[in-house]
Amino acid sequence: MALLPILRFPDPRLHRKATPVDLVDDSVRRLIADMAETMYEAPGIGLAATQVDVHKRIIVIDVSEDKSKLLTFINPEILERSGEQVCEEGCLSVPGIYEKVSRSERVRVRALDPQGKSFTLEAEGLLAVCVQHEIDHLEGKVFVEHLSQLKQGRIRAKLAKQARITA
Ligand code: NI
């Protein structure tokens, strides 16, 4: 397994739309293992392949307390959504920024697992937020793009300043 470098907003590669996985083979499973290791090491609760510059529809999530419930979604699709919740979100590609975003309270998702088998999952609360946040990444959308232009401008300025300090 290997740790993968995570793209940082506003890297234009974060805006590429990911393409579906045609065949779930060992190379896909290797990528999933690397993505999980990268997410746990960061540490984070979700990671989309887009964030490691692989533009395939794959996400990993673990919202459990003890980091024991890894969920993998290949070619995820939201079948149904209901309700609304506002949750403070962060993102490994937007370090140090936490902002409230409005999303569906519940979602039903269909995806393939690492064996290529189809499953559906009902998610609510934090898991539902995380699924929607990661699927956004596959569409080339970063969570800050749900915010006002004014807020986005402030975030870009703050990140540019951080980049100068750490460069
Ligand atoms: Ni993110």
What confidence tens digit (pLDDT) does each residue in 93-118 have?
Answer: 999 999 999 999 999 999 999 999 99
Distance 92 CA to ligand 1 centre (A): 6
Catalytic residues: 134
Question: Residue for token digits 């490994």?
Answer: 92
pLDDT above 90: percentage of residues in the chain? 93
Question: Within the chain, which residues score under 50 in pLDDT?
Answer: none
Q: Are 108 and 120 in contact (CB under 8 A)?
A: yes
Position 163 scores a pLDDT of 80
Question: Residue for token digits 């890297």?
Answer: 11
Position 162 scores a pLDDT of 84
Please give the full DSSP string across the chain, using - where no structure is assigned.
----PPP-TT-GGGGPPPBPPS---HHHHHHHHHHHHHHHHTT-SEEEGGGGT--BSEEEE---TTS---EEEEEEEEEEEE--EEEEE--TTSTT--EEEEE-SEEEEEEE-TTS-EEEEEEEHHHHHHHHHHHHHHTT--GGGGS-HHHHHHHHHHHHHHHHHH-
pLDDT above 70: percentage of residues in the chain? 99
pTM summary value: 0.95
Position 167 scores a pLDDT of 65
How many residues in total does the chain contain?
Answer: 167
Distance 107 CA to ligand 1 centre (A): 18
Distance 125 CA to ligand 1 centre (A): 17
Task: Report the candidate in 62, 75, 79, 164 with the shortest Cα–Cα distance to residue 116.
Answer: 75
Q: How far apart are CA 120 and CA 78, in angstroms?
A: 9
Give how far Cα 4 sits from Cα of 23, 34, 47, 133, Å: 22, 7, 11, 20
Task: Report the candidate in 66, 61, 58 with the shortest Cα–Cα distance to residue 30.
Answer: 58
